[in-house]
Amino acid sequence: MGKRIVIKIGSQVLCSPDGTLNRDVLGSLVDQFSCLQTDGWQVLLVSSGAVAAGSGLISEQLGRISDPVARKQVLAAIGQVHLMESYRELFAQKSLTIAQVLATKSDFQTRRHYLNMRGCIEALLTAGIVPIVNENDVVSVTELMFTDNDELAGLLAGMVNAQLLCLLSTVPGVYDGDPGDTASRYIRQWDDKQHHIEDIVKRGTSTLGRGGMNSKLEIARKVARLGTEVVIADGTDPQIMNKILDDNQAGTRFPVIADTSSAKKWLASADDHATGWVTVNQGAEDALLDSTRLTSLLLVGIETVEGHFDRGDVIQIRNPSGKVLGCGQTRYDHDDALKLMGQRGLKPLVHYDYLYLVD
């Protein structure tokens, strides 16, 4: 397997304020990505911009659509064609082939769907084809939407075991204060012990995208804990990829904190798809959070069983106060777990190999 990089490009990088695609920026990025391919990188793109591109193409017809959800779906359907055609044309000039992959959150819900998507993307990367992934806004509904494409990019980085995830926005990195303050500087390397999200990030969303810096930080920290280095940087810089890869002088970097298995990476993507949950007692919570031990979730530590789940489903694990500790793939169905909870000497409810803890 070659070196793999996942690059997420935000709407504000690709689009002008009026919603039209910025061909100069897009062309510069494609030039840089083709150089990455030449240098031996397998490149996977996560590209926003379909809805924004659509809004720059139609006006009169859009006024006939009163439903805001339907309007967004129409914009996505029209804009996605324009966006992909622009990519196809520019990559073809570099003798590279692209492939469109549209994803929904439900594609990460079951292990089978997850592996099917991974198999397709792995084949594309191995063949030297550039997958361009976007959320399928035409069919996604609120409860099944990704927080934003930063979340999708983070999930894909884990799926393909990428060495590097780049979140390209229109800021040079994560600032240590108000970006509008001339005294603020962007952080070169994030350190959880030194930096705190609530101290430096103002919540909010951009004009063209659902995500803000707070979302990027959460995703970056999570992905670094799963084994992929992350960089948040300015995608409008015409030399941004060289700066990130050659001299490490661009963006805010999140170094790898730990590595984890493919199964746990899937669980990290499926933690909000749980079909049920269990509450553990204090002893079980202490054991699970003890970093010096590799602990499975035993039935003896279960206090309550809620929801409905079958063997092999993902369930949430909560402490007595209701805090979500993580999730795991259960080895029992709901009825058996309810009947056997609190008992000793039985197979774990969730084996350590299929257990993902939030922090």
pLDDT-derived band at 199 (thresholds 50, 70, 90) equals low
Residues 238 and 243: their CA atoms lie apart, in Å, by 10
Three-state DSSP at 135 gives strand
What is the model's pLDDT at position 144?
Answer: 57
Least confident of 112-126, 139-153, 258-272: 139-153
Asked if residues 130 and 84 have their Cβ atoms less than 8 Å apart, the reply is no
Q: What is the pLDDT of residues 35-75, one digit of tens each?
A: 999 999 999 999 988 877 777 666 667 778 888 878 888 88
Domain ranges of the chain: 3-263, 272-357
Residues 6+ apart with CB under 8 A from 81: none
What is the model's pLDDT at position 209?
Answer: 43
Count CB-CB contacts under 10 A for residue 36: 18
Residues 16 and 25: their CA atoms lie apart, in Å, by 10
Question: What's the CATH code, domain 272-357?
Answer: 2.30.130.10
Mean local confidence (pLDDT), 310-323: 92
What is the model's pLDDT at position 196?
Answer: 67
Q: What is the pLDDT of residues 242-297, one digit of tens each?
A: 999 986 678 999 999 877 888 888 888 776 678 899 999 999 999 999 888 889 99
Q: Whose CA is closest to 187, among 154, 156, 160, 221?
A: 221
Residue with tokens 């930063």: 150
Three-state DSSP at 13 gives helix
Least confident of 173-182, 192-201, 239-248, 257-266: 192-201
Task: Say whether pLDDT at 174 is over 60.
Answer: yes
In this structure, the strands spanning 355-357 and 324-329 are antiparallel
CATH entry 1.10.540.10 includes domain 3-263? no
pLDDT-derived band at 201 (thresholds 50, 70, 90) equals low
Strand partners, 130: 98
Question: What distance, in Å, lies between the first and last C-alpha atoms of the chain?
Answer: 29
String of DSSP letters for 238-285: TTHHHIIIII--SSEEE-------HHHHHHHHHTT--SEEEEE-HHHH
pLDDT-derived band at 4 (thresholds 50, 70, 90) equals very high
Q: Whose CA is closest to 232, among 178, 168, 189?
A: 168
What does the DSSP 8-state code read for residue 297? B
**Residue 264 burial by Cβ neighbours in a 10 Å radius (0-12, 13-18, 19+):** buried
Q: What is the pLDDT of residues 209-221, one digit of tens each?
A: 444 777 788 889 9
Asked if residues 170 and 230 have their Cβ atoms less than 8 Å apart, the reply is no
pTM: 0.84
Q: Give the strand order in the sheet containing 252-254.
A: 98-103, 130-135, 41-47, 3-9, 164-169, 229-234, 252-254
Angle ∠(328,262,163) on CA atoms, nearest 5: 135
Residues 239 and 162: their CA atoms lie apart, in Å, by 21
